Amino acid sequence: MMDKAPVSLVGEMSVMDRSGHKQLKWNTDRLDEVAVAKETFDRLVAKGYSGFGSKTKNEPKQLLNEFDSTMEEVVMVPKIVGG
């Protein structure tokens, strides 16, 4: 019996900003797309954004300490300034 090929997943990052939101998608078997998504995540965290993600869109989001390309959905939220 032959092993099945690994399933390729598509992840989606929503970036909340003043214009509403932007979306970035990556395919887990495309290293170039994963690299762009990781660079975007890291750049936004350095700017003060928080990332929340889940393995499936139906699961509750959890705070991410680092980029995980296997997340189906990631939401990047800017620091909220109150007053």
9-22 per-position pLDDT tens digit: 899 999 998 888 89
Residue 31 located in a structural domain: yes
Residue 82 located in a structural domain: no
Question: What residue numbers bound the domain in which 38 lies?
Answer: 10-77
Residue 21 located in a structural domain: yes
Residue 3 located in a structural domain: no
Per-residue model confidence (pLDDT) at position 10: 92
Residue 2 located in a structural domain: no
- The number of folded domains in the chain is 1
Residue 33 located in a structural domain: yes
Residue 47 located in a structural domain: yes
Single out the residue of 47, 37, 43 nearest to residue 74, CA to CA: 37
- Residues 70-79: tens digit of each pLDDT: 999 999 999 8
Q: How far apart are CA 67 and CA 45, in angstroms?
A: 10
Per-residue model confidence (pLDDT) at position 7: 65
Residue 29 located in a structural domain: yes
